[in-house]
Amino acid sequence: MSVLSFFTWCENSSLAEAIRQSRWLFPAIESVHLLGLAVIGGAVLVLNLRLLGLGIKRQPAAQLWRDTRPWLLGSLAVMLISGGLLFTSEAVKLYYHEAFWVKMISLLLATVFTFTVLRKVALADPSHVRPLWCKAAATASILLWSMVGIGGRWIGFS
């Protein structure tokens, strides 16, 4: 089965049809999706600002990681589920849309980066991590998650 065949199958599903036919379902799902993006953006930003030395300085980065992790995981789950529902309703259109692929690649990279590199930097003993590494990891994280949001807006406005 090719990727396009899979996208076509998704778009022809009864779930996708129900979303397309409903007057309120797509906007409601999209609202939940954007709320998930806002929550993950806030959690990522709090941690990254701390790593940049601009945020909550009284709390160690390791504690901020532990405090924001449930929000990161929960909002990521909300985004993936709601995004999957939105995807089904216009899958073939998205297959041909460059912004969709930018967003998906950015989402994959941002997620992997956050739960590997950023996690390692945040949990490391501050005396063993150079400030430049903290700043580089935080900057890369902000750029990756920004690309997820930009890709999503690009889909919505083009």
How do residues 55-82 score in pLDDT, each as one tens digit? 788 888 999 999 999 999 999 999 999 9
Radius of gyration of the chain (CA): 18
pLDDT, residue 49, reads 94
Comparing C-alpha atoms, which of 10, 145, 140, 6 is closest to residue 86?
Answer: 10
The number of helices, as runs of H, and strands, as runs of E, in the chain is: 8, 0
Q: Name the token pair of 35.
A: 């709320």
pTM over 0.75: yes
* DSSP 8-state symbol, 55: S
Domain ranges of the chain: 3-156
Average pLDDT, the chain: 93
Mean pLDDT, rounded, for 77-98: 95
